[in-house]
Amino acid sequence: MGWALLGAGLLLALGVLLRHRLRAPAQPRSRPDLRGRTAIVTGGSGGIGEATARGLARCGARVVLAARCARRGEAAARRIRTETGNPEVLFMPLDLASLRSVRAFASAFLRQEPHLHLLVNNAGVSAGGTTEDGFSLTFQVNHLGHFLLTQLLLERLQRSAPSRVVIVASAAHRAGRLNPAALGRPPPGPLPTFQGYCDSKLANVLHARELATRLQGTQVTAYAVHPGGCCGSDVKQYVYGGWAWAWWCITDTQRISLEIMTLQPRCEDVETAEGVALTVTGVAQVKIMTEKELLAVACEQFLGKNVQDVKNVVLQTLEGHLRSILGTLTVEQIYQDRDQFAKLVREVAAPDVGRMGIEILSFTIKVDKGVVPLAGTDGETTTQGLDGLSERCAQYKKDGADFAKWRCVLKISDNTPSALAIMENANVLARYASICQQNGIVPIVEPEILPDGDHDLKRCQYVTEKVLAAVYKALSDHHVYLEGTLLKPNMVTPGHSCPTKYSPEEIAMATVTALRRTVPPAVPGVTFLSGGQSEEEASINLNAINTCPLVRPWALTFSYGRALQASALSAWRGQKDNATAATEEFVKRAEVNGDGPMGGDPKSCVPMDGGAPGTTSLWVGGDTEGHVPRADRRHRGLCPTVGGMPRSRSPLGAR
């Protein structure tokens, strides 16, 4: 027992000593000036090779990192350039397991580099297998590939003298046993991989000795070096679960979490394709992948970082993709098909996240739209958010906003919309409009009736009239100045599932009739939603509305974006070169809708009775600029007008 304790104590003391010696900081040495010198470091994408290249770069040398993996090699070159401030660090591909690759590297180097002062043959492996050239993988990478490379570059080394060749060998060469009859073949024995490594290191030492002898008097010197008790970047072991044997005194161990991480990417005030500002929060579950190659990628980026650091990197990536996708969709596409939207985010973000070695397990969204259930109804809703609206409007006015928009949504079914839902949403719109006008902002009032369902045209007209009548009663009760408002309603159309098809003239007659019965002539203009119509349907129906024989005491135009997109997307096809054509197509569609009846005079958008209040004035109380027609101003980003109304921007400058 005593001898066992003594032995354990001696081993412990030896371990502490080794740990101290191996991890003690190196004493600073004078740094040679290597400016104007060119060096090659094989295996320079990590480990000893990268450390060597970094040291040479700090001394001012031009350094070529020769490595198999372009991604890792380029990344190492960038790191070294950043850390040293030396811009002359570059990567060139070299696979020592292929003699063809060795010759290609040497040929490319000799073409582009006039000098070579230092060749560091550092790359090495300890693995089984055979190369495409028929040799043991370990022996070819560690020795044969370097031998050929040195011979191909030797003349350039001699022309650049004084120069040197440094071969990174190992103390393991002492266990090497070279058999000339079986050179380059996996050695026999119980540990062929280890024996093959020792044999290759013995070949390194013999190569350096013979090279030094043959180069005597040429000012080209050759050295074999033992790097000490360390391992290169390729000698890593990934252990799942945390159980592994390690030489605690000389092995550097780091951990990376494989647990599922929950993230909440959030994008505030992102404008949709229709210009509607939304705040969207997603919920994503991600984790580091455990496949060997992908785990190695994740380890390269995240080893040594805590879970929060990993979360922050992934979160920024997800938020960037989420923001870009939101700008291509409409509010309806986001609200009504969240599963499809979430799938799109996953598909778009997955490649970038995957390049970090991370997979997206799930992604869902929750849209902060302020819509809450309305008590006492059959699943109907109302919109919240009036608290603090006055202060927000005051700030928006200072920021240059002229318009604001508030949307309340109603659905048609056998039992909806109920009288309670109609009244509640009308009052919300009226309170919003009153607050906007108190702060000098023109309110856009949007009571939208969704086109979902199988209701016919008559049912939609009936519901539209009830809703608009309630809205304008509420606006009157709240003393809203109608001349300073805009209405953004749906066209009167049948439900998407309605079996009966109606002509544009029938839709126009129903729409204009509903407006004439409910919307006061004092309202300057009506800017229609597309309501899920295609661009052809929306344009044709708008044209029919503007050619309807009924008197229309308002400017009638459009405020939709989705119904302008199909032709533009078809022209674009996701190609950068098609961007100009797509833009022209989009503008063309906007002009078709904005210039009144298609093929007719744009002036026919002006009301038939000779003019509406909106064509001459759009003013709200508290406007310090007085009764200047806002619709005729050409500043603060307002678009050209038709019939006194902005025609190609939705939601008409709203913030």
How far apart are alpha carbons 279 and 369 in whole angstroms? Answer: 8
Q: Quick one: which of 249, 246, 251, 231 has its CA closest to 18? A: 249
Q: Which residues of the chain have pLDDT under 70?
A: 1-30, 181-192, 228-254, 276-277, 331-332, 335-338, 366-372, 374-375, 383-385, 560-564, 566, 573-574, 594-655
How is the chain split into domains, by residue range? 33-225, 261-367, 372-563+599-646
Give Cβ neighbours of residue 347 (< 8 Å, ≥ 6 apart).
none
Collapsing DSSP to helix, strand or coil, 210 comes out as helix
Structure tokens at 381: 């809703």
Q: How far apart are the first and last CA of the chain?
A: 83
Active site residues: 446, 488
Alpha-carbon distance values, 45 to 1, 121, 196 (Å): 50, 13, 24
Looking at residue 471, its pLDDT comes to 95
Interacting residues of 133 by C-beta distance below 8 A, sequence separation 6+: 98, 99, 140
Give the CA angle between residues 39, 43, 49 to the nearest 5°: 65
pLDDT at 635: 29
- Which among 503, 402, 413 has a CA at the least distance from the CA of 450? 413
The CATH number of 33-225 is: 3.40.50.720
Angstrom distance (rounded) from CA 197 to CA 352: 38
SS3 per-residue string spanning 514-577: HHHHHCCCCCCEEEECCCCCCHHHHHHHHHHHHCCCCCCCCEEEECCCHHHHHHHHHHHCCCHH
8-state DSSP, 219: T
Element holding 436 (H helix, E strand): helix 419-438
Dihedral sign (CA 574, 576, 582, 587): positive
Q: What angle do CA 404, 653, 467 make, to 5 degrees?
A: 45
Check whether domain 372-563+599-646 has CATH 3.20.20.70, yes or no: yes
pLDDT at 223: 94
Task: Give pLDDT, residue 165.
Answer: 95
Instruction: Return the pLDDT at 652.
Output: 29
Q: Say what the pLDDT of residue 212 is.
A: 93
CATH number of 261-367: 3.30.479.30
The whole-model pTM stands at: 0.42
Q: Which two tokens stand for residue 506?
A: 């029938």
